[in-house]
A and B are shown apart, each in its own frame.
Chain A
Amino acid sequence: MGIIQTWLPYILAGIAVGGQYALIAIGYTMVYGILRLINFAHGDVFMWSGLIMIYLITVLPLWLSIVIVIAFAIVLGTTIEKVAYRPLRSAPRMSIMISAIGVSYFLQNIALYVTGGLTKTYPSIGFLQKTVHIGSATTKMVTLITPILTIVLVVLLVLLIKKTKIGMAMRAVSRDFETSSLMGIDINRVITVTFVIGCGLAAIGSVLYFSNYTGINPMSGAMPGLKAFVAAVFGGIGSVPGAVVGAFVIGICENLIKGAGWTTFSDAFTFVLLIIILMVKPTGLFGEKNIDKV
């Protein structure tokens, strides 16, 4: 009982953070599944959703600002895809990756300019900040809501991918880009839908994630972004449930490490996990085998 009492708060925090990572990781895994591109700018879209929330909440009611934040993230994500990735679709993979890094650099610098390099305080959303008691641990409402909301959204997403026509098109495109375009699938539409889903979920994640932290600076998106990407790789890139499992594993382990007093290495752990999984099982937990043909 003693052990559970000491570790329960860390495990709860880990589950919450894991859910937030999962919402970001879905964007990574879906985009990678279809475009074979690590969307380095995804973490910055996430950060920008947080920033916009700060500016909106001063003038608008909460529900409206959340809706606008989600809309903003979707518009930003699809614009990035149209401007920076679409013209390079037939270019070598390295160029698209460099373009993604360039976009990330661009978004960070604009944020730096807008905020003046200062850390902006995230508004406290009363409803999410309510204290709740779980057993012996005291925690915020957001810890409870995050995993539930994440799982509901993921179930909806999986249904979308498995049951609808656009979901079928997504699966086809991620299996074979060229053949599916020959079969009459509108590739650009599929990619746009992918970005819409990914960025929308990232925006929801940002509301949950940043209400746990005091503020946002232009670099706030980079670390959660990288961790979410590792989660996507851990679960098997291209697989939505895999990304979610990976995100929860990373979130919980990270907080347990923090609880053990190794805070310096809580970030490093993620990358150790990445390297181990890439060594042992490069396709991830639920990934499909991919053989390069000569």
Chain B
Amino acid sequence: MNNEITLKKKTKSLLSVASILAILVIVYFIDDMGGNGMLVTVIEKGAVYALVAASMNLLNGFTGLFSLGQAGFMLIGAYSYAIFTIPAGSHAAVYQYFDGGLIQWSLVEILEGKLGIFGHYLGMIIPMLFAGLFVALIAYLIGIPVLRLKSDYLAIATLGFAEILRAFFQWNTLGPITNASNVLRKYAVYKNAIFPVIIAGLCIAFIMLLINSTYGRAFRAIRDDEIAAEAMGVNLFKHKEMAFVISSFFAGIGGALLAMFQTTINATPFATTMTYEILLMVVIGGIGSITGSVIAAFLFTACSEWWLRGLDAGMWLGISSPIFRAGFRKVVFAVIIMLIVLFAAQGIMGTKEFSWEGLISWFKNLPENLKAWPAKHKAKSEAKKKERAAAKAAKLKAKEDKKNSEAKKASGEKLFTPLETFDHVVVFDKEGR
């Protein structure tokens, strides 16, 4: 029934370029006109989380390494970005407990002085890249011992490393650099929501390219069967380390973007809860689908920052109730997530990715599918009913059988009729005798 549609490569790239440009223009003007504050927040935060979720999916969904260290890597990224971009004049105020800190310059200011506005952005991008590379280096070092562990041990070890990193950044001795447990603020931030959208978009595009490359295929081979992959000549450790380092690089960049979005950072919120939230985004979107992660990240932020806000404030969709008070939003949210985890484990996209053909044929088949839906639903519910009835009957029968057998046992009947015993055994002649 599904109409297969094929588009020319040229048409596809034209469509892609046009839609990307359209998105960028729309994002730019939404922010520039300062229309809906919530929408801008969702775009900015959603872009950051889309990047982080995609990087986690690369590791958890495509390489099959269940790592829970994402928040720790974001923390390093955020700090390494912020430290190098605090204006020289603000150091005394920010590092007030550490005599103005150790680093007394800001890369943004130095480059802006030399290259003007171009230098300003260069001064933001270089620390961001540095953040990514630094995180990648740390991940490389952590990966050497940790990646030899299997599934749940790996999860716990990465979780542990994230906690160690958090403690390390709050250590008083490092105060002149990290400001210990005080907040870092006044560092350079972007002015328009288009900045995180572009950076996150570029990074996600790179992740997509990587997944479709030979390396990506090796990652998937490892996920599906480690032993078979090794037998086919995939160097397990090298590829795992590579996935881990690349994923952490993007988590670091995501952390830097998050720092810019929040305008102040502190190590406290980069705890396991943050990793859990990112993991849940990946699950909602579909483990093994980058498109799914992106969609889920935006949906997640939109729900938690905007659509479900009313549940906390006492009024939602015109309904007001005394149970709508601070925190209720998160309860509803957690219920939705549990329902998805239990009943729709494949998430929004499963393992499918976005393609123009898929989109067009989905729209084309929509009327038919909608028409067919009631019948399909009916058939499904009937099948379920039948199944339930069968289960009930089986249970009843089991009960009856048990009762009968007990009754028989009580009446002295043997449960098994012994086989007849013969007093001689016939041995068949072997062939060719």
Contacts and interface: CB of A to CB of B under 8 A. Distances in A.
From B145, B172, B337, residue with most partner A Cβ within 10 Å: B337
A271 B161 CA distance: 7
Contacts of B168: 268
From B153, B156, B161, B279, residue with most partner A Cβ within 10 Å: B156
Given A101-B280, A106-B337, 6 more contacts: A84-B338, A105-B273, A109-B327, A233-B156, A264-B170, A275-B157
Q: Which 4 interchain pairs have the tightest Cβ spacing?
A: A271-B160, A113-B327, A106-B334, A109-B330
12 contacts: A84-B338, A94-B287, A97-B152, A99-B342, A102-B341, A103-B338, A110-B334, A112-B331, A268-B164, A271-B157, A271-B161, A274-B157
Contacts of B150: 292
A89 interface: no
A108 B279 CA distance: 16
B163 interface: yes
A113 to B, nearest CB: 4
Interface string B328-370: 1011011101100110010000000000000000000000000
A105 B337 contact: yes
A98 B340 CA distance: 11
A165 B252 CA distance: 53
A264 to B, nearest CB: 5
B164 A104 contact: no
Contacts, number: 129
Given A98-B341, A265-B167, A113 B227 contact: no
Contacts of A110: 331, 334
Nearest to A107: B334
Contacts of B156: 38, 226, 229-230, 233, 274
B394 interface: no
A104 B155 CA distance: 15
B90 interface: no
B36 to A, nearest CB: 27
From A97, A101, A117, A272, residue with most partner B Cβ within 10 Å: A101
Contacts of A272: 160, 164
Contact of B153 (A102, A103, A108, A233): A233
Contacts of A271: 157, 159-161, 163-164
Interface in B159-212: 159-161, 163-164, 167-168, 170-172
A265 B170 CA distance: 10
Interface in A250-277: 264-265, 267-268, 270-272, 274-275
Contacts of A88: 342, 345
A172 B110 CA distance: 69
A10 to B, nearest CB: 19
A282 B172 CA distance: 33
B321 interface: no
B145 A279 contact: yes
Contact of A98 (B157, B273, B283, B326): B283
B250 interface: no
A87 interface: yes
Contacts of B159: 226, 271
A278 B152 CA distance: 12
B10 to A, nearest CB: 40
Chain B interface residue count: which class? 35 or more
A104 B151 CA distance: 19
Interface string A110-130: 101110110000000000000
A271 B155 CA distance: 12
Overall SS of chain A's interface: helix
Interface in A51-105: 83-84, 87-88, 91, 93-95, 97-99, 101-105
A274 B331 contact: no
Nearest to A92: B345
A292 B150 CA distance: 11
B145 A38 contact: no
Nearest to A108: B273
A254 to B, nearest CB: 13
Given A88-B342, A106-B335, A229-B156, A264 B172 contact: yes
B145 A109 contact: no
B160 A270 contact: yes
Contacts of A226: 156, 159-160, 163, 272
Contacts of A117: 326-327
B379 interface: no
A294 interface: yes
Contacts of A275: 145-146, 157, 160-161
A105 B334 contact: yes
Contact of A294 (B145, B227, B342): B227
A265 B334 CA distance: 32
A291 to B, nearest CB: 12
A244 to B, nearest CB: 19
Interface in A170-199: none
Given A97-B155, A264-B172, A275-B157, A102 B334 contact: yes
Contacts of B149: 278, 282
Nearest to B68: A101
Given A102-B341, A272-B164, A97 B66 contact: yes
A208 interface: no
B29 interface: no
B373 interface: no
Interface string B388-400: 0000000000000
B330 A113 contact: yes
A267 B337 CA distance: 30
A270 B161 CA distance: 10
